[in-house]
Amino acid sequence: MKPTIDQTAFGSITIEGTMFNHDVLIRQDGQIKKRKKRLSKALYGTSHTLSLDEAKYVYEKGTQRLIIGTGQHDNVRLSAEAADYLQQKHCHVDLLPTPAAIRTWNTSSGAVIGLFHVTC
């Protein structure tokens, strides 16, 4: 079951009444996991560029849509390699500032996963 995201503020996201003070990944089955930022940070020195390794970790077989909350100030981007990988998997990617990504997430349906950056 896809959880509803209640709100976000700088540094946090609230999902089904539970506040998380870190970036989150929401799987197709509704499971909420802490984002593995180190997969991108190790390569780029920042978690603001999603690496191929992180894209491979995030993607699940059959996912048709990935909604990425790019932060409160819209700073997260896909690397060219990550974008190519997701395109090869026929996975549509929505890159939106986190508040807008939450609205999109809450109205989405189908095989969707979400990655939400909660700071900049």
CATH class name, domain 5-117: alpha beta
The answer to whether 114 and 9 are in contact (CB under 8 A) is: no
Residue 55 pLDDT greater than 90, yes or no: yes
pLDDT of residue 1: 81
Tokens at residue 63, please?
């996912």
Sequence ranges of the domains in the chain: 5-117
**Percent of the chain at pLDDT above 70?**
100
pTM: 0.96
pLDDT of residue 86: 98
Mean pLDDT across the chain, nearest whole number? Answer: 97
Neighbour count for residue 82 (Cβ, 10 Å): 22
Strand, helix or coil at 106? helix
**Interval 68-116: pLDDT, tens:** 999 999 999 999 999 999 999 999 999 999 999 999 999 999 999 999 9
